């Protein structure tokens, strides 16, 4: 056995602002240069992807994507400096949360390397 936690950032009224889904979506935009391509890679509707990011933008109060204009390959999007900052902080928050969760689990259950105390 091992512990598992879901790392979320929610608003004061309990609305989900950020978690693994928005994190993965932004990372996919960073890789593909396009919200549409990122959504497709996650098998998600473009409209749902936009809604997820609008909700995160509202919660953080920062623009997450910077649109790029046309050219030969059409337009796309790049992450804003605010989005990059949010990703870095989320990665650190997630890492520390998991480490703390593991430590608490070991303290309570006395488990090490998948062993459980009886």
Residue 61 gets which letter from DSSP?
T
- Asked if pLDDT for residue 98 goes beyond 80, the answer is yes
Q: Enter the pTM of the model.
A: 0.85
Give pLDDT tens digits for 7-56: 999 999 999 999 999 999 999 999 999 999 999 999 999 999 999 999 99
- Asked if pLDDT for residue 112 goes beyond 80, the answer is no
Mean pLDDT across the chain: 91
- Asked if pLDDT for residue 111 goes beyond 60, the answer is no
Q: What is the pLDDT of residue 118?
A: 44
Share of the chain above pLDDT 90, in %: 81
Pairing of strands 65-68, 76-79: antiparallel
Sign of CA dihedral 91, 60, 5, 26: negative
Residue spans of alpha helices (H) in 1-118: 20-32, 35-41, 46-60, 81-109
Share of the chain above pLDDT 70, in %: 89
Average pLDDT of 69-91? 88
Average pLDDT of 48-67? 96
């Amino acid at each position: 056995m091992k512990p598992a936690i879901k790392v979320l950032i929610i608003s004061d009224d309990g609305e989900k602002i950020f978690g693994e889904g928005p994190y993965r979506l932004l990372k996919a935009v960073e890789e593909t240069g396009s919200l549409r391509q990122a959504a497709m890679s996650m098998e998600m509707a473009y409209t749902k992807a936009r809604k997820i990011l609008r909700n995160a933008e509202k919660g953080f109060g920062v623009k997450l994507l910077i649109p790029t204009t046309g050219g030969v390959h059409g337009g796309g999007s790049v992450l804003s400096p605010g989005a990059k900052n949010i990703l870095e902080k989320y990665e650190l928050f997630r890492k520390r949360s998991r480490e703390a969760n593991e430590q608490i689990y070991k303290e309570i259950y006395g488990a090490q390397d998948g062993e459980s105390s009886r």
